[in-house]
Amino acid sequence: MTDTRIITGHVLSFMQSPFQTDPAEAVRIHDAVAVEDGHIAALGTEETLRASYPRARLDRHKGKVILPGFVDAHVHYPQTAIIASWGKRLIDWLNTYTFPEEIRLSDPEYAAEIAQRYLDLALSNGTTTMCSFATSSPASVPAFFEAAQALGVRVVAGKTCMDRNAPDALCDTAQSAYEDSKALIERWHDTGRIGYAITPRFSPTSTPAQLEALGALWREHPDCLMQTHLSEQTDEIAWMRSLFPDARDYLDTYEKFGLVGSRGLYGHAIHLEPRERDRLREVGAALVHCPTSNCFIGSGLFDMSGLMAEGQRIGLATDTGGGSSFSMLRTMAAAYEIAQLRGTALHPAQLLWLATCGSAESLHLGDRIGRIAVGMEADLIAIDLASTPAIAQRAARAGDLWEAIFPTIMMGDDRAIADVWISGTPLTRPKDV
């Protein structure tokens, strides 16, 4: 039996990138969207869609904004329980908080508990797709995939590989990283709505032998993504140089082992050198902006306007739990604030694009998610533009829809997420997770 639903509201459909044209002109606003069998079937007015689909269920969201579900391009689901831990920069953060917690996820039951907790929190904040690091324990990957599969959400993840500069309980080897990752790819990649990302944590925690093995694995499975970290903090870069004294720059520690390509995701990418920027643009790799994390652990200010002007592919991410929020609304607010510090005021359409289309394209899923267009998967959210008294009183003074949306971007949280649909089906979201 065909399942058809009509959702009304301010339905935002991106026609092109708002970084490449007048932001307001990049978006078409419809009154309703029809969803059939998990995909977008049509856009238009409520009247015309009801005439076309007379038996459809009707979800009315008058005054609310209907968007694609948010796409979080870089998270660490194992760090859910340690989010907002005090007072450390990157390397101390890993040693003090991350590594001890990741050891705990070697227990499959605890990994399953944290995976479910993370997904509940992400969905309650309107995030319907995410790309996550797991831990070095192979059991942490199916824990995440099985939880996602039960919910029907589209996810990408991979076993984190590291064979040095980490506790013995977390270290694998070049051979085991290759074999574990290969087995997980064969079991999970392209199974339903699941994708696999080959995942060296970052070059300081992988020997050249491990990076070489993972580069070989990527050549064997070029349809997989590859995710890692790049140039997050200046002291991290200095550490990298001490470990790879012959490298031209940080990117070279990946490039010489075959870990730079169009399906590569490079988290943070703050302190890039000119050669790195040129090479990343040349191959069409994705840079993932993690603004709350960059502020929280003192990493630096991402050059959004400069990198966009160069033609870089850019996604947006919470970086849970180095990032200080599960909310992509809060992440957009932080991206706006960082851009302001660099002299650019991002338009609300640009921020929403980064959190939907931009991140989807970074994950090479832009043909399936991230836009409300006919044929796309119907992962959708409804945004309440008056979710708190402070937001409501500001939105009430708005002269147009963009001015009404902006207070929710800057001050909104999970209370602004009025509804979530996964493949066109409303999600019953836990409110107290």
Taking residues 338-342, what's their average pLDDT? 98
pLDDT tens column, 61-107:
999 999 999 999 999 999 999 999 998 888 898 999 999 999 999 99
pLDDT tens column, 4-54:
999 999 999 999 999 999 999 999 999 999 999 999 999 999 999 999 999
- Name the residue among 116, 121, 122 with its Cα closest to residue 140: 116
Query: Does residue 430 surpass a pLDDT of 60?
Result: no
Positive or negative, the CA dihedral 119, 369, 194, 420 is positive
Query: Does residue 412 surpass a pLDDT of 60?
Result: yes
Q: Which residue has the higher pLDDT, 21 or 1?
A: 21
- The pLDDT of residue 403: 98
Domain span(s) for CATH 3.20.20.140 in the chain: 70-362
Q: What is the DSSP letter of 94?
A: I
Q: At what angle do helices 140-151 and 174-188 cross, to 10 degrees?
A: 20
Do the Cβ atoms of 136 and 161 come closer than 8 Å? yes
Confidence of residue 2 (pLDDT cuts 50, 70, 90): low
Taking residues 138-166, what's their average pLDDT? 98
Taking residues 219-235, what's their average pLDDT? 98
CATH of domain 4-68+371-426: 2.30.40.10
Q: What is the mean pLDDT of the chain?
A: 96
Query: Does residue 425 surpass a pLDDT of 60?
Result: yes
- The pLDDT of residue 433: 40
- Name the residue among 380, 370, 347, 403 with its Cα closest to residue 11: 380
> Both ends of the chain: CA-CA distance in Å?
34
Pairing label, strands 39-44, 27-36: antiparallel
How far is residue 263's CA from residue 265's CA, in Å, rounded to a whole number? 7
Do the Cβ atoms of 157 and 77 come closer than 8 Å? yes
How far is residue 309's CA from residue 89's CA, in Å, rounded to a whole number? 30
What is the token pair recorded at 239?
């550490």
Query: Does residue 297 surpass a pLDDT of 50?
Result: yes
How far is residue 137's CA from residue 162's CA, in Å, rounded to a whole number? 11
Q: What is the DSSP letter of 69?
A: P
Pairing label, strands 194-200, 160-161: parallel
What is the token pair recorded at 345?
């005021």
How far is residue 71's CA from residue 86's CA, in Å, rounded to a whole number? 27
- The pLDDT of residue 1: 45
What is the token pair recorded at 186?
């064969």
How far is residue 15's CA from residue 233's CA, in Å, rounded to a whole number? 36
* Domain 70-362, second-level architecture: Alpha-Beta Barrel (3.20)
Confidence of residue 310 (pLDDT cuts 50, 70, 90): very high
Query: Does residue 432 surpass a pLDDT of 80?
Result: no
Q: What percentage of the chain reaches a pLDDT higher than 70?
A: 98
How far is residue 96's CA from residue 328's CA, in Å, rounded to a whole number? 26
